[in-house]
Amino acid sequence: RLSILAQAPAFARLALRGLTLAMGSRTLCQFLLLAALLSPAASEETCAQPQEEEEVSAMQWPNWPRKKPHVVFILADDYGWANFGEHRIRVSTAAEKQGQAEVNTPNLDRLASHGVLLERHYAYKICSPSRSSLQSGRLAVHVNTVNTGVTFWQPGDNVSGFAGIPRKMTGLAQKMKQGGYATHMVGKWDAGMATPQHTPIGKGYDSWMGYFQHANDYWQEGLPFSSTGTIDICQNRFVDFSLYNATYRGGVSREIRQELGCDRKNLHLQVPNIRPQVNATGCGDFAGNVGSNSCLPDSCFEEALLNSFALKVIQKHDPHVPLFLFYSFHLLHTPLQIPNSYLEKLDELVKEQGGERILTQNRRYYAAMTLYMDDMVGKVVQALKDKQMYEDTLIIFTSDNGGPVYEPGSANNYPLKGGKYSDWEGGVRTNAFVSGGWVPWWRRGKKFHGVISIADWYATLSKIAGVDYSDMEAAETNRLLLENGLLPLHPVDGRPQWDNIVYDVNGRIDPLHLSSQAVLHYPWKLITGKQEYSSHQGPLYPNCSTVRNLGDGPVFSDINVYGQKLLLSSNATKQEILTHMFDCGGGCLYDIERDPSEQRDLSNDPRYADELFRMQQTLYDLNLGNFNPDRGSPALGACTVAASTGGVYGPY
């Protein structure tokens, strides 16, 4: 079929494509065999050489856009499965109807319904590894599996002895630049900071405004304990909010804020402390107005500034040059903060849809933050349309991991099991879709059930940009690393997935190495060892009973002081209770096609003994290639440099 298509006139290819969609490739093949009387050689080649299908690109279809698309990649942070409207469509109980009323994502829902919903998109279970995976094209186990603080440094390894992506791995934006793209980023980085090569600029972005670490304060841009559960070697004394471009690299100044819409008479004291000076809605004491209880303008909310920057990138862009915009939200990561106007807007929307006002504070804040994120996405889409770029744009949306179900994370992954920090579906299966005018018309409104890894976007976008996705710089560096007894850099793991999405062909048919404790070989999934946050959530979560039983968890456990992790309890049993720990031992086995909520462990069923052994052996073999360099310890030099550069975190 495909070899004929390559030679057929345009109208014939259109007809064959229509037949393929209507009849299926197997039926069409049988149909074409009848044509052997007229063209025996052609029909024989059609059915005898299916391998040629791999050589046909989606961009060879006659009405496929010939020029490279603009690409807007939107990455949400800690986005719960059930906090997305597309996963709240089917309701049957009163609780599900209430949950549907609370989730308001009209812009995301519209994009998903006009694009392709990616139902089997997988990331790593925590932030930094997923982001390192996306930007490097490696699975997390081959680039970074820890949320290491950005001040870490191992002087004996100046390639991999830092937090985030090794210096000599080529970044996604560098590949896009090779393909002729203008590259811009806004928001959370969390993939390294120690050297200029670790920064977004060092990894290929022309400009970036955002922050380096796991999270910061939405109003003050410092690092309160509530944002990351960490007290760093600098005692959280500095601000983490920067602008980098060709002419400026430093903190976001008052003048820059004003240009982005944050023009306020009374600046709050931007002297970060472990405890912020303003509350979750931006109200509190201000410089020169001690004792006052004023509120910062909504336009000074960090996400408002980030959105304003992204809109300016689009507005100033030359549409004749392909644009790659990586929009990396802070939302919905802690701390739970939002302008009061959005709490009020949420209350009205819930009421309009027949729901009751949300009484659980954290659930209400998370829902309002989700609404805010959706509005910001809507503004980006409108800016693309105003610039007449939308029809030539590919929009990719996903999350860096599943939603956090602990206090104070407050996401909901119903009906999936578990959440962030776990290998359960709720921790690694993420909301995702592709949309925009560049998505072919015949795939709009469809779902894709093939397995995709967040690492695959590196190869997918490289191919769309017309460049080789292999990493020659890393390969050349490996010679030096091996000579010095250091770990070599792993090659790119990502697979080009665009044609699979367009033609609805299964993405990854081989095992997907989720972590050192889990592997997915669809439909089989093996999870081993102890897993935190192993509970199922209901349609309304968190709720009043969650709050009442908080003494029994789940609560956030990744608490670090000066680089040392602290336990919630000195009693091991209590620690496991507080984190809802479950021990899979040598392995829990699930058929996630039939059991997507992971409720039936098949590991003890003798009928699946061979499958269990095969999956255990697969995980063992895959783990032999894990990348675990010594990333060192917190470096005081990071504090010294920050103090000398205006009190802003950056390369040290």
Which position has the higher pLDDT, 32 or 242?
A: 242
Q: How confident is the model at residue 23 (pLDDT cuts 50, 70, 90)?
A: very low
411, 413, 628, 597: which is closest to 516 by C-alpha? 628
Q: What is the pLDDT averaged over residues 147-171?
A: 96
For residue 39, pLDDT beyond 60: no
Which tokens belong to 441? 């018309």
pLDDT band at 68 (very low <50, low <70, confident <90, very high): very high
Residue 293: the pLDDT is: 61
Task: List Cα–Cα distances, 508 to 254, 459, 462, 544, 581, in angstroms.
Answer: 48, 13, 18, 41, 30
**pLDDT number for residue 62:** 42
CA distance 350 to 144: 40
* pLDDT tens by residue, 446-495: 999 999 999 999 999 999 999 999 999 999 999 999 999 999 999 999 99
Domain 70-218+241-251+297-508, CATH number (from 3.40.720.10, 3.20.20.190, 3.40.1110.10, 3.40.1400.10)? 3.40.720.10
pLDDT beyond 90 at 497: yes
User: Do 123 and 398 touch, CB atoms closer than 8 A?
Assistant: yes
- C-alpha to C-alpha distance for 20 and 29, rounded to whole angstroms: 9
pLDDT of amino acid 295:
86
Candidate from 28-37, 503-512, 589-598 with smallest mean pLDDT: 28-37
pLDDT at 64 over 80: no
Residue scoring higher pLDDT (543 or 507): 543
Is the pLDDT at 65 greater than 70, yes or no? no
Q: pLDDT (tens digit, 9 = 90+) per residue, 250-290? A: 999 999 999 999 976 555 445 455 556 789 999 876 554 44
Q: Is 471 exposed, middle or buried (0-12, 13-18, 19+ CB in 10 A)?
A: buried
Name the percent of the chain lying above pLDDT 70.
87
Average pLDDT for 437-445: 97
The answer on pLDDT for 31 being more than 80 is no
* 560 SS3 class: strand
Query: Does the pLDDT at position 574 exceed 60?
Result: yes
Task: Note the pLDDT of residue 506.
Answer: 83
Q: How far apart are the C-alpha atoms of 107 and 378, rounded to whole Å?
A: 5
> Do 180 and 465 form a contact (C-beta atoms < 8 A)?
yes
The pLDDT, as a whole number, for residue 53 is: 34
Confidence (pLDDT) at 38: 37
**pLDDT over 50 at 67, yes or no:** yes
DSSP-derived secondary structure for 53-105 = GGG--GGGSTTS--SPPEEEEEEESS--GGGSGGGSS---SHHHHHHHHH---
Q: Is the pLDDT at 44 greater than 50, yes or no?
A: no
Bridge partners, 231 (sequence order): 561
Domain boundaries, the chain: 2-56, 70-218+241-251+297-508, 524-623
Res 13: pLDDT: 42
Whose structure tokens read 């490996």?
A: 478
Tell me what the mean pLDDT of segment 330-353 comes to. Answer: 98
Euclidean distance between CA atoms 71 and 396, whole angstroms: 8
User: What are the start-end ranges of the H helices in 330-433?
Assistant: 340-352, 361-386, 425-428
Please enumerate, as own/partner, the contacts of 66-69 that have beta carbons within 8 Å and a separation of 24 or more: 67/322, 67/392, 68/179, 68/180, 68/181, 68/322, 68/464, 68/465, 68/466, 69/322, 69/392, 69/393, 69/394, 69/436, 69/438, 69/464
What pLDDT is recorded for position 294? Answer: 80
pLDDT at 278: 84
Mean pLDDT of 220-240: 93
Q: Position 642: which residue type?
A: A
17-21, 252-256, 528-532: least confident range: 17-21
> Which tokens sit at 651?
């390369």
Calculate the alpha carbon distances from 171 to 177, 455, 489 in Å: 10, 12, 13
Asked whether residue 433 carries a pLDDT value surpassing 90, the answer given is yes
- Per-position b or e across 87-100, b if 16+ CB within 10 A of its CB: bbeeeeeeebbbbb
Work out the percent of the chain whose per-residue pLDDT is above 90.
Answer: 82
To the nearest whole number, what is the mean pLDDT of the chain?
90
